C-alpha cells in the first residue's frame, strides 16, 4: 500500500525529536560510477556549490589551492606583506560571504580570485595615493614644514613601488598632469593652468594616464598570478 512519510512505523513509537550534535570531519576519496571523489580536482562548480552550502572544508580547500596565487599577486602590486595579507583576507571573506557572486560558467575560480585580488590591490594603491595627496595638501597649509613633497613620499613608499614604476613610464606630458592633479592635489582646472594647457587637454591627458596606469597595474597582477 502506498505511503511515503519519513520513518517507517514500528511496533514501538520512535522518538525523533533529538537534535544532532556538531562534530568535525575530514574528507577522503572513493569512486563509483555515480559517486565522485571530493577533494583535489573538484570542479569549480562543485566547489562553488559546496561554498554556497556553507561547507567549511570547501573554503579550506579553496584557500589551500589558491591563496598563494592571491597573496603573491597582491604582494607584487603592493610590495608590502601586511597589505597583501589584508587583500587575501578580504578576498576570501568576500568569497565565503557571497559565494554566488562567482559564476563557474563565466570562468575559473582561479581567474575570479585573481581578479578580485587585483581590484582590491589597485583600490588599496588608489586609496594610498589619495591619502598621501591629502597629507600633502594639509602640509602646505602649515608653513615651515620641511616635509618632502607628497609625490616624493609616494614614490619612495615601498607599498607604491608598482605605482612608481608605472607613473615613471608615462609620457612626460601625462606624468606631469598626474603629479599636479593627484600628488599636488590641484583641481583639473588648476592643474591645466599650472601646466599651461587648456583644461580639456588636461582632462584628456589625465584620462589617458589613468587608463595606462590601470593597464600596467592589472598586467603586473595578472603576471604574478
**Which window, 89-97, 118-126, 194-202, 213-221, contacts another protein (CB under 8 A)?**
89-97
Binders of another protein among 18-47, rule CB under 8 A? Answer: 18-30, 32-39, 42, 46
- Please state the closest distance from residue 196 (CB atom) to another protein, in A: 46
- How is residue 111 written as a grid cell? 581567474
Binders of another protein among 4-23, rule CB under 8 A? Answer: 4-23
**Which window, 69-77, 116-124, 142-150, 173-181, contacts another protein (CB under 8 A)?**
69-77
Is residue 201 helix, strand or coil?
Answer: helix
Is residue 198 helix, strand or coil?
Answer: coil
Count of residues that bind another protein according to CB under 8 A: 76
Instruction: Give the side-chain half-sphere CA count within 13 A for 167.
Output: 22
105 lies in the binding site for another protein (CB under 8 A): no
- Tell me how far apart the alpha carbons of residues 20 and 6 are, in angstroms, rounded to a whole number: 17
Q: What are the angstrom distances between the C-alpha of 219 and each of 126, 146, 162, 206?
A: 16, 37, 11, 20
- Figure out which of the listed residues 78, 88, 129, 170 binds another protein, where binding follows CB under 8 A: 88
219 lies in the binding site for another protein (CB under 8 A): no
- Figure out which of the listed residues 41, 44, 49, 108 binds another protein, where binding follows CB under 8 A: 49
**Which window, 1-9, 147-155, 181-189, 200-208, contacts another protein (CB under 8 A)?**
1-9
Element spanning 21, H or E: none
- Figure out which of the listed residues 44, 71, 120, 179 binds another protein, where binding follows CB under 8 A: 71
Residue 120: which of 150, 96, 100, 94 has the closest Cα?
94
- Figure out which of the listed residues 41, 44, 52, 174 binds another protein, where binding follows CB under 8 A: 52
Measure the N-to-C terminal CA separation of the chain; round to a whole number of Å. Answer: 61
Amino acid at each position: 500500500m502506498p505511503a511515503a512519510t519519513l520513518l517507517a512505523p514500528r511496533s514501538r513509537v520512535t522518538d525523533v525529536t533529538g537534535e544532532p550534535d556538531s562534530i568535525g570531519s575530514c574528507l577522503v576519496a572513493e569512486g563509483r560510477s555515480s559517486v565522485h571523489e571530493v577533494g583535489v580536482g573538484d570542479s569549480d562548480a562543485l566547489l562553488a556549490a559546496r561554498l554556497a552550502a556553507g561547507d567549511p572544508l570547501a573554503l579550506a580547500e579553496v584557500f589551500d589551492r589558491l591563496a598563494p596565487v592571491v597573496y603573491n599577486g597582491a604582494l607584487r602590486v603592493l610590495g608590502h606583506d601586511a597589505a597583501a595579507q589584508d587583500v587575501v583576507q578580504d578576498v576570501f571573506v568576500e568569497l565565503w560571504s557571497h559565494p554566488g557572486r562567482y559564476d563557474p560558467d563565466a570562468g575559473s575560480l582561479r581567474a575570479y580570485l585573481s581578479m578580485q585580488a587585483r581590484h582590491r590591490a589597485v583600490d588599496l594603491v588608489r586609496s594610498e595615493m589619495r591619502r598621501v595627496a591629502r597629507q600633502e595638501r594639509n602640509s602646505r597649509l602649515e608653513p615651515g614644514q620641511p616635509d618632502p613633497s607628497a609625490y616624493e613620499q609616494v614614490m619612495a613608499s615601498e607599498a607604491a613601488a608598482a605605482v612608481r614604476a608605472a607613473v615613471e613610464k608615462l609620457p612626460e606630458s601625462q606624468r606631469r598632469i598626474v603629479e599636479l592633479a593627484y600628488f599636488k592635489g590641484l583641481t583639473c582646472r588648476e592643474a591645466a593652468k599650472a601646466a599651461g594647457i587648456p583644461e580639456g587637454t588636461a582632462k584628456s591627458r589625465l584620462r589617458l594616464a589613468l587608463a595606462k596606469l590601470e593597464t600596467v597595474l592589472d598586467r603586473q597582477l595578472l603576471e604574478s598570478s
